[in-house]
Amino acid sequence: MAAQLDISVDAVKSRLHRARMQVRTVLMASGYWFNGTAAEPHGPARQQRD
């Protein structure tokens, strides 16, 4: 990936880390992510099937 973007491997690692942090921030703000673990998204409850 670094070669395709013409940047260093360290730059790729840094960009991926920042992107993961942004995704986590958005998920936590939306209530989907709770204390580092996935939680049920807000919305209608799903019915259980037997």
Buried-state track 16-41, b at ≥16 Cβ within 10 A, e below 16: eeeeeeeeeeeeeeeeebeeeeeeee
Residue 31 confidence (pLDDT):
82
Among residues 50, 48, 29, 32, the alpha carbon closest in space to that of 40 is found at: 32
SS (H, E, C) 3-41: HHHCCCHHHHHHHHHHHHHHHHHHHHHHCCEECCEECCC
The pair of structure tokens assigned to 18 is: 């920042």
Domain ranges of the chain: 2-37
Q: What is the pLDDT of residues 2-49, one digit of tens each?
A: 889 899 999 999 999 999 999 989 988 888 766 555 555 555 445 555
